[in-house]
Amino acid sequence: MITFRISGRFSEKSEIICGVGAFDALPPRAAEGAFVFTDENVQSLYGETIRSRFPDAPVYAMRAGEAYKTPETLFALLGEMARAGVRRTGRLICIGGGVVGDIGGLASALYMRGIECVQVPTTLLAQVDSSVGGKTAVDFCGVKNLIGAFKQPAKVLVDPVFLKTLPDREVRCGLGEIVKHAALDAALFDKLSANREKLFDPDFLAGIVPENIAIKSEVVKADPHEKDLRKCLNLGHTTGHAFELLDGKLSHGEYVLTGILFEAELAKRYTDCDEAYLEALKALARSALGRTPALPPAREAAEFARLDKKNGAGGRVTVTAPVEKGEYVLLDIPYEEYVRALAEIQEKLC
Ligand SMILES: NC(=O)c1ccc[n+]([C@@H]2O[C@H](COP(=O)([O-])OP(=O)(O)OC[C@H]3O[C@@H](n4cnc5c(N)ncnc54)[C@H](O)[C@@H]3O)[C@@H](O)[C@H]2O)c1
Ligand SMILES: [Zn+2]
C-alpha cells in the first residue's frame, strides 16, 4: 500500500491510500456517523461490498452520468443527509467516478459549512485525476463545473479492485489523463511505451495508478492555488477541449488523446523538439485511442480554444506542448495562425 499526503488551499491535509485493500483501510470507527453517496451503476455492481463495509450507513445513489451533475442532484443529496440526521462530526463517503466525487465533495463542503469527506474513486479517471486536488463542482446554466469549491477530502482510498468492471470506454477516459501524465514524466512514458498492448489490462493499470497519483499530487502540492505550474496539466486539453465543446460526440479521454496528437504536431512546427520522441508519444496516444476518431473541421474547433478563459487572451491561444521526454513548453500562438496550423495538421493526421 502506498500513501501520499497533500495539503489544500487552506492547509487542510489529505491522505491518499493506494493499493489492493485500500477500500478497507478506514478504521471501523470511521463507519460511525457515515453517509454513503454513490451512483446507481456502482451500487448495482458493488452494493453488497458497500453494505458489508458500512452496514449502518444510509446510502444515496444518484442516477449515473454527467447529465445528473446538477444542483438538483446536489440538493437531493443534501436533503437525504439532513433527513438522515448527519451531524457536524459525521463523514460523507463518496464511492464512484468523477461525477460522484465532484458532487459529493461539494456537498461535504456545504453541509453544516463543511464536514469530513472520504473519496473512494472507482473509475480510472477518478483514481488518477479527479480525486486528487480537492476541486469539486456541479454543472449549471449549461456551463460545466460553474458552481464549485475547493475541498480536500480527509482521505482518498484508491483500490484497484474497482478497475476490473470498467468498460473500455471508461478506461479510455482515464488513459487520456495517463498519456498526458506520461508526456510530463519520462519514467512513466517509458513504461507505457514498452507496454502499449497492455493499456486496457486492469492488472497493468493497477500498477501504474500510484505513479499517476504521484505526478498529479506533486503538481497540486507545488501549485495549490492554480497559478502557473498547473498549466502543465492542460497538455492535450487546449485543442482537445476545443473539439469537445464543438462536437461532444466522443468521450473526454478521446478528445484529450486527439489533442495530444495535434499539440505534438504544433510542437514540431514551433519548437526545436525531439521529433522521434514526439512520434513515439503519438504512437502511444493512438494505441490508447484504438481508432482514428471522426472529427469536425479543426477551423471551427479553434474558435472554442480562443474563447476558453484558460487559453485565449489578446487574440492568442496558449498551448502546453510536449517537446522532449518529460518536458513541455507553453506556446503562445496568434489565433489566426493557430487556426491555419490546426487545419493543416488535421489534413495530415486524419
Ligand atoms: N475534480 C477534478 O479535479 C476533476 C478532474 C477531472 C474530471 N473531473 C470530473 O469527473 C467527471 C468524469 O468522471 P468519470 O469519467 O469518472 O465519470 P462518471 O463518474 O460519470 O463515471 C463514468 C461511468 O462509469 C460508471 N462506473 C463508475 N465506477 C465503475 C466501475 N468500477 N465499474 C463499472 N462502471 C463504473 C459510472 O456509473 C458512470 O456510468 C466529469 O464530471 C469531470 O468534470 C473532475
Ligand atoms: Zn481532462
CB 162 near ligand 1, within 6 Å:
yes
CB 211 near ligand 1, within 6 Å:
no
pLDDT at 237 over 60: yes
Cα–Cα dist 228/222, whole Å: 10
Cα–Cα dist 92/108, whole Å: 6
Q: pLDDT tens digits for 322-346?
A: 999 999 999 999 999 999 999 999 9
Element (H, E) at 256: helix 252-270
Cβ atoms of residues 107 and 77 within 8 Å: yes
Check residue 149 and give its pLDDT.
95
CB 102 near ligand 1, within 6 Å:
yes
Q: pLDDT tens digits for 148-188?
A: 999 999 999 999 999 999 999 999 999 999 999 999 999 99
88 and 205 in one domain?
no
Residue 171 burial (C-beta neighbours within 10 Å; 0-12, 13-18, 19+):
buried
Average pLDDT for the chain = 93
325 and 196 in one domain?
yes
95 and 29 in one domain?
yes
CB 265 near ligand 1, within 6 Å:
no
Residue 89 burial (C-beta neighbours within 10 Å; 0-12, 13-18, 19+):
exposed
Check residue 27 and give its pLDDT.
81
Q: Is the Cα dihedral 254, 219, 194, 156 positive or negative?
A: negative
CB 312 near ligand 1, within 6 Å:
no
Ligand 1 pocket: which of 9, 14, 23, 41 to mutate (most atoms <8 Å of CB)?
Answer: 41
4, β-bridge pairs = 16
User: 332 lies in which domain range?
Assistant: 168-349
Of 165, 198, 224, the one marking the end of a domain is: 165
The identity of residue 120, as a single letter, is: V
Nearest Cα to Cα of residue 103 among 60, 50, 55: 60
pLDDT at 6 over 80: no
283 and 146 in one domain?
no
Cα–Cα dist 32/169, whole Å: 36
208 and 159 in one domain?
no
Q: Give the CATH number, domain containing residue 273.
A: 1.20.1090.10
CB 205 near ligand 1, within 6 Å:
no
Q: 121: which 3 cell numbers?
A: 474513486
Q: pLDDT tens digits for 252-304?
A: 999 999 999 999 999 999 999 999 999 999 999 999 999 888 899 998 999 88
Q: Give the CATH number, domain containing residue 78.
A: 3.40.50.1970
Closest-CA residue, ligand 1 atom 14, reads 98
What is the Å distance from ligand 1's center to 312 Cα? 28
Of 141, 165, 189, the one marking the end of a domain is: 165
217 and 83 in one domain?
no
232 and 150 in one domain?
no
Check residue 94 and give its pLDDT.
98
User: Which ligand neighbours the alpha carbon of 220 most closely?
Assistant: 1
Q: How many CB atoms lie within 10 A of CB 88?
A: 11
Of 133, 165, 197, the one marking the end of a domain is: 165
227 and 254 in one domain?
yes
Check residue 308 and give its pLDDT.
75
Q: pLDDT tens digits for 192-213?
A: 999 999 999 999 999 999 999 9
Residue 145 Cα: closest atom of ligand 1:
43
What is the Å distance from ligand 2's center to 180 Cα? 9
157 and 15 in one domain?
yes
The percentage of the chain sitting over the pLDDT mark of 90, rounded to a whole number, equals: 81
155 and 39 in one domain?
yes
Q: 333: which 3 cell numbers?
A: 500562438
Q: How many domains does the chain have?
A: 2
User: Which ligand neighbours the alpha carbon of 241 most closely?
Assistant: 2
185 and 137 in one domain?
no
327 and 184 in one domain?
yes
Taking residues 308-312, report their average pLDDT. Answer: 68
User: Which ligand neighbours the alpha carbon of 69 most closely?
Assistant: 1
Crossing angle between the packed helical segments 298-307 and 237-246, to the nearest 10 degrees: 110
